[in-house]
A and B are shown apart, each in its own frame.
Chain A
Amino acid sequence: MSGAGTFLGMPAFPHNAAAAVQDSQLRFNLRKATHTIRGKRAAVVGELPDWAELRRAGKEIKDHTLRHLDRYLLQLEEAVTAAGGHVHWASDAKEANRIVADLVKATGETSVVKVKSMATQEIGLNEALQEEGITAYETDLAELIVQLGDDWPSHILVPAIHRNRAEIREIFQEKMAEWGRAAPEELTDEPRALAEAARLHLRERFLSTKVAVSGANFMIAETGTLVVLESEGNGRMCLTLPETLISVVGVEKLLPTWRDLEVFLQLLPRSSTGERMNPYTSTWTGATEGQEFHLVLLDNGRTDVLADEVGRQALRCIRCSACLNVCPVYERAGGHAYGSVYPGPIGAILTPQLRGTASAIDASLPYASSLCGACFEACPVAIDIPEVLVHLRGKVRHARAERLGMRAAGWIFDRPSRLARVQRLGGRLRRFVPGRLPGPLSAWTDTREIPDIPAESFRDWWNRTDGGAR
């Protein structure tokens, strides 16, 4: 995951989380939000008698697609090209950004409107376009709040979940004028009034901008069709009104056949927003209604993830965010602590695999979990996130003191006689064990109590008393 210089200098997760839990406003916002979506999701999932079967089909369709990804990508390329679209391939963020910038320049335009897209955030497209003199305008309400506030998204579905209405009103009043139509003088902090301000701010831009950039929720290999799910209509505006449409999509977003949508158009809206169906879904195949259409297929680390037998299941993710909304850690630490555009449990397994674990933040992510398993249960494509977390913990390079300690423990536990000797020694010296361990071992006692060491081990007691009989 190169390109997004986003959070790479960030401190590790525990440091970020410790700061975040001190923010009572953030905790209040997050608790309210996650519990609301959680409840709605449970209700609409409970409505479907065949949820388990849909979930199984969703998982298997994704696994099958990933197994034959090369074949399906070629089929997609052929179908999109036959329908008048152009397909580009990008190995990494830099290349994808280069292709998009060149395509925009070829139109002679200096601004683009954007549909909310995780992939373009991941590659830092807006910043890359800015360097080329092209302004990218976010049009999703939450992304607009994040963009105007010069902020980072903190949730996959509701990126401004960490902001309350008063903060949003302030951002609109201070920043809207710099980006276009100013906020109304009398703007209140009523959600309805704020949404109306965004409608007015963006309306003129939608009707006049010639180039749009989007991502996609699904691509259908068989037909070359792209699918975008949304709520506000900003997606439809961007997809239908401009003359040129450029879609940047991760290679894992494929589905083999048109029919497969019958599964995913049930799984995604119910898992994501807790609705039976999201307000708007658009599908288009190649160049539509006279538009010029470019598809940029993005790797950017995905083929590395695919090569890991345990970790590759993370590529099944359909970005619904159900795992965030049930996670006790996310609910308290918030999205920014994860230092990536992919927060929460899915971020904890996706980011270290896409970016590697060289930086402090990325090496800490596999530990940003209590392994409670709520995410696995909520996942509509049954990604076993705890399994991948444990797998990644084994791959992260550990601190020297920890490695030595584990090696010593391994040696002791290797033979019962060694263990017994150490236990007897510990029992005799138990009065001298400090409450906190010194030096590098203090990391252990910072977050844990040292257990009381008994005078005698259970095994010794059993041998001495014949199981309590003597």
Chain B
Amino acid sequence: MTAGAPADPRPAAEIGTGTSANSRERILARIRSAVAGAPDAPITRSYRTSPEATDVIGLFAERVADYRAVVHVVDGSEAAATIRAAMARQGAVRLVVPDGLPAEWAPDDPVADDPRLTAAELDAVDGVITGCAVGIAETGTIVLDAGPGQGRRALTLVPDYHLCVVRADQIVAGVPEAVARLDPARPLTWISGPSATSDIELNRVEGVHGPRTLEVVVVR
């Protein structure tokens, strides 16, 4: 397809530092003259910061299911059995298990990400099982922050099946509470249902490049 491009001999960090430095000053100067004398714009925050929700767990389960994900709400004592039954239904045997996942949730024959699995190895496993950082009831969203039991971002992306366990105390009512709980320094992935596209005549098709099946177990 392409002719070979000669490698630029400079280290990447230095690229653009010559003209770019001039552009930096030019852009900043243009901004300053453009807004000079403009009035300050105060910000009013009269929107809801903690929505009233009587049954956040029920709402969360309902909203996740709306995205055509499979949802189970179970007591702690049933979690392990629910996970095993889900794997059997999916026909998933080899699941990647990130560091820090509670032992009772882990399958008998876990695939560890140590040494780091290559993308091709991830592509070949049956799926992945993780915990999460936060669940949002109003939008049916799960947020992963690469913390314990979640692993790096590629683990929940390349395999075709993602089984996610959400503890009831991780579920908040709305988006503002979730943003407040999360640490921006960590890489975050917000997941709302399986991957989807509506690019062809606006017909929603689940399962494009991310996992085609998302299964969620909410543990009370």
Contacts and interface: CB of A to CB of B under 8 A. Distances in A.
A258 B179 contact: yes
A86 interface: yes
A369 interface: no
A191 B203 contact: yes
A357 interface: no
Contacts of A259: 179-180
A106 B35 contact: no
A54 B197 CA distance: 27
Interface string B30-43: 11111100111111
B167 to A, nearest CB: 20
A102 B15 contact: yes
Nearest to A294: B12
A297 B119 CA distance: 31
Contacts of B49: 262
B2 A134 contact: yes
Interface in A211-262: 220, 223, 225, 231-234, 236-237, 239-241, 244, 251, 258-259, 261-262
A73 B29 CA distance: 12
A70 B11 contact: no
Interface stretch (B17-25, B82-90, B92-100, B101-109): B17-25
B26 interface: yes
A234 to B, nearest CB: 5
Given A60-B43, A263-B47, A266-B175, A90 B23 contact: yes
A56 interface: yes
A300 to B, nearest CB: 10
Interface in B180-201: 180, 184-185, 187-201
A111 B1 CA distance: 9
B154 interface: yes
B4 A102 contact: no
B31 A280 contact: no
Contacts, number: 291
Interface stretch (B72-80, B126-134, B207-215): B207-215
Interface in A53-82: 53-54, 56-57, 60-61, 63-64, 66-70, 73-74
Given A105-B8, A192-B205, A306-B35, A57 B47 contact: yes
A445 interface: no
B115 interface: no
B202 A32 contact: yes
A410 interface: no
Given A67-B40, A95-B19, A280 B175 contact: no
A141 B203 contact: no
Interface stretch (A11-19, A283-291, A426-434): A283-291
Nearest to A246: B12
Contact of A111 (B2, B66, B140, B184): B2
Contacts of A331: none
Contact of B2 (A110, A240, A285): A110
A139 B197 CA distance: 12
A306 B63 CA distance: 40
B66 to A, nearest CB: 8
B210 A99 contact: no
Contacts of A132: 5
B5 A165 contact: no
A110 B115 CA distance: 29
Nearest to A54: B47
A50 interface: yes
B154 A240 contact: yes
A327 B7 CA distance: 47
A61 B43 contact: yes
A232 B208 contact: yes
Contact of A237 (B7, B11, B157, B180): B157
Interface in B107-155: 119-120, 123, 136, 138-141, 146, 152-154
A364 interface: no
Contact of B201 (A73, A191, A277, A312): A191
A57 B43 contact: yes
B175 A306 contact: no
B198 A303 contact: no
B40 A99 contact: no
B35 A67 contact: yes
Contacts of A282: 153, 187-190
A288 B63 CA distance: 31
Interface of B: 1-8, 10-13, 15-17, 19-21, 23-24, 26-28, 30-35, 38-49, 63, 66-67, 119-120, 123, 136, 138-141, 146, 152-154, 157-158, 175-176, 178-180, 184-185, 187-203, 205, 207-211
Instruction: Pick the 5 closest A-B CB pairs, nearest first.
Output: A233-B210, A233-B209, A63-B41, A281-B190, A303-B30
